[in-house]
């Protein structure tokens, strides 16, 4: 079950966080890994027995080279995890500047676009492509304009690619994580992370390993009837308002009302 034995897998953003947790999990499941990142991490290469291809995913040429390297090294390609991404500059729409906006779209949107475009040329029929979007691509927050725009675009690209590649039996899905404990959130203060935990029905932020297990399922043949989906993994946030929030609001209102 969930076997990835001898499947050749490209993972972008593999040097850290969700990509790293996915690489470690996939290697235990028997996959042959091609690890891509803009920053080198020899530890992930050693720990997984994969090959590392330094890649800036915003460059079409470099992503084309990544996919060609995977096939020339391992002879085939079965799974692509287009996961590399950045948070970019947060700020209200009134303050968004073109260069900062373009940078987030170049990495988060074009990284996935080039991964699908050049990956699809090589991936075997029946293969699986998983893109990392975000819960912020489904539901926004003040100050998240650039990031939300990029992740909504990833969801749109995922659906289009799923339709275009379905005749070859290639499935394309994306995942929409809520806040996950990875270095991408170093900019967030302790208060923001505590608030996120409070707003999450399960009462905590997620772990990269928990996201990797969803990616694993989508990569495996066990998810063979799933394509074109944007799957939230966010501790219950999209289910509605949790008891933690209701309790907190009741306390606040009780304090406000006269005795
Ligand atoms: N952690 C979260 O809270 C969260 C929530 C929702 C979605 N995501 C998404 O998950 C994905 C992985 O992020 P993470 O949380 O593991 O963060 P992370 O910072 O730990 O990992 C991101 C990796 O992407 C790499 N990267 C950045 N720009 C790149 C580029 N141009 N080319 C190649 N590699 C590049 C980084 O070097 C890093 O290794 C991202 O797409 C992110 O937007 C994260």
One DSSP character per residue, 180-207 reads BSSGGGTTS-HHHHHHHHHHSTTSS-B-
3-state class (DSSP) for residue 169? coil
Residue nearest to atom 32 of ligand 1 (CA): 56
pLDDT digits (tens, 9 = 90+) for 200-249: 999 999 999 999 999 999 999 999 999 999 999 999 999 999 888 898 88
> CB of 234 closer than 6 A to ligand 1?
no
How far is 221 from 3, CA to CA, in rounded Å? Answer: 8
The pLDDT, as a whole number, for residue 259 is 59
Say which residue the tokens 């304009």 belong to: 145
Question: In this predicted structure, which of 135-144, 162-171, 240-249 has the lowest mean pLDDT?
Answer: 240-249
All structural domains of the chain? 8-256 (3.40.50.720)
Residue 258 predicted with pLDDT over 70: no
The pLDDT, as a whole number, for residue 186 is 85
* pTM of the predicted model over 0.85: yes
Interval between CA 88 and ligand 1 midpoint (Å): 11
The pLDDT, as a whole number, for residue 189 is 81
Cβ–Cβ under 8 Å, residues 11 and 22: yes
Interval between CA 167 and ligand 1 midpoint (Å): 31
What are 125's two structure tokens? 């029929």
pLDDT digits (tens, 9 = 90+) for 46-100: 999 999 999 999 999 999 999 999 999 999 999 999 999 999 999 999 999 999 9
- Mean pLDDT along residues 21-27: 98
How far is 132 from 12, CA to CA, in rounded Å? Answer: 10
Per 3-state DSSP, the chain is made up of helix, strand and coil in percentages (nearest 5) of: 50, 15, 35
């Amino acid at each position: 079950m969930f076997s990835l034995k001898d499947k050749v897998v490209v993972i972008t953003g593999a040097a850290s966080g969700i990509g790293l947790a996915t690489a470690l999990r996939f290697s235990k499941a028997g996959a042959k890994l091609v690890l891509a990142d803009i920053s080198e991490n020899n530890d992930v290469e050693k720990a997984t027995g994969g090959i590392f291809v330094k890649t800036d995913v915003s460059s079409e040429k470099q992503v084309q080279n990544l996919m060609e390297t995977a096939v020339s090294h391992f002879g085939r390609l079965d799974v692509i995890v287009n996961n590399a991404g950045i948070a970019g500059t947060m700020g209200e729409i009134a303050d968004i500047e073109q260069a900062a906006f373009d940078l987030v779209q170049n990495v988060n949107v074009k990284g996935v676009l080039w991964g699908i475009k050049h990956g699809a040329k090589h991936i075997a029929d029946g293969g699986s492509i998983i893109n990392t979007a975000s819960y912020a691509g489904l539901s926004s927050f003040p100050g998240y304009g650039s990031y939300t725009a990029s992740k909504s675009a990833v969801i749109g690209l995922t659906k289009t690619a799923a339709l275009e590649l379905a005749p070859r039996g290639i499935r394309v899905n994306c995942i929409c994580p809520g806040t996950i404990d990875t270095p991408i959130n170093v900019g967030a203060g302790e208060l923001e992370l505590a608030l996120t935990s409070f707003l999450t029905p399960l009462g905590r932020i997620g772990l990269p390993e928990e996201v990797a297990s969803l990616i694993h399922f989508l990569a495996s043949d066990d998810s063979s009837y799933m394509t074109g989906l944007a799957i939230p993994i966010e501790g219950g946030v999209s289910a509605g308002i949790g008891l933690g929030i209701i309790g907190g609001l009741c306390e606040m209102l009780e304090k406000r009302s006269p005795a």
